[in-house]
Structure 1
Amino acid sequence: MDTANNTYLAFQFSASELSAFAVASGIFTISLKNGKIVHFCPNDVQHFHDWLTAHEIRDIQKEERTKPTPPSTNKSWWGRIKRNK
């Protein structure tokens, strides 16, 4: 990892060009600051992930996990059934 040059071996973009990322099954989906989306499959998934976080590239999945779930205002359909006696 070359943090001084802001680059990662075999990845054509520098960290300064990156906006955010998500990873699934070892494939990184990366949003560039220019609006383009690129995909990258590094040889060492953990090392690339560490490089992204060392350069403070936003982890979209981490943000999604920390968002609070809004309360549900919908009652189940069972609550709408009235019993006749």
Structure 2
Amino acid sequence: MSYTKPYFAGFEYHSKEVCKFLQAYSTFTLMLTNGAIIHHQPEHALDFRRWLNHHQIEDIRVSIRNNDPAAVAQQ
């Protein structure tokens, strides 16, 4: 699987159209650059997540953890 391609198989949006995501099990909630919120359930969730990470699309869960002083203090 090539994560460098701008499109992921079965996902109709270009990587540059996605700005943030949140994953719950195999369901991804994604915010597009136009402000729309969409849901996607890829056949291979781990590969999709790797594709998102490769294209440096913000993982909301990681951003919250990194910006929460209480979470940082617990580490």
Relative to the length of structure 2, the TM-score reads 0.84
Q: 1:20-39 counterparts in 2 under 5 A?
A: 20-39=20-39
- How many pairs are equivalent? 69
Equivalent residue letter for 1:69: A
Q: 1:66-85 counterparts in 2 under 5 A?
A: 66=66, 67-69=68-70
TM-superposed deviation, 1:2? 5.3
The one-character-per-residue Cα deviations of 1:42-61 (angstroms, maximum 9, x if unpaired) are 11111000000000000000
After TM superposition, the runs of 4+ consecutive aligned structure 1 residues lying more than 4 A away are none
Q: What's the % identity of the aligned pairs?
A: 32
User: What is the CA–CA distance in structure 1 between the aligned matches of 2:3 and 2:56, rounded to whole Å?
Assistant: 14
Give secondary structure in 1 for the equivalent of 2:65.
helix
Once superposed, what is the RMSD of the aligned Cα atoms? 1.5
Gaps of 5+ in 2: none
Q: Which has the higher helix share?
A: 2
1:44 equivalent in structure 2: 44
| Structure of higher RCO (CA pairs closer than 8 Å, 6+ residues apart) | 2
Relative to the length of structure 1, the TM-score reads 0.75
TM-superposed deviation, 1:25? 1.7
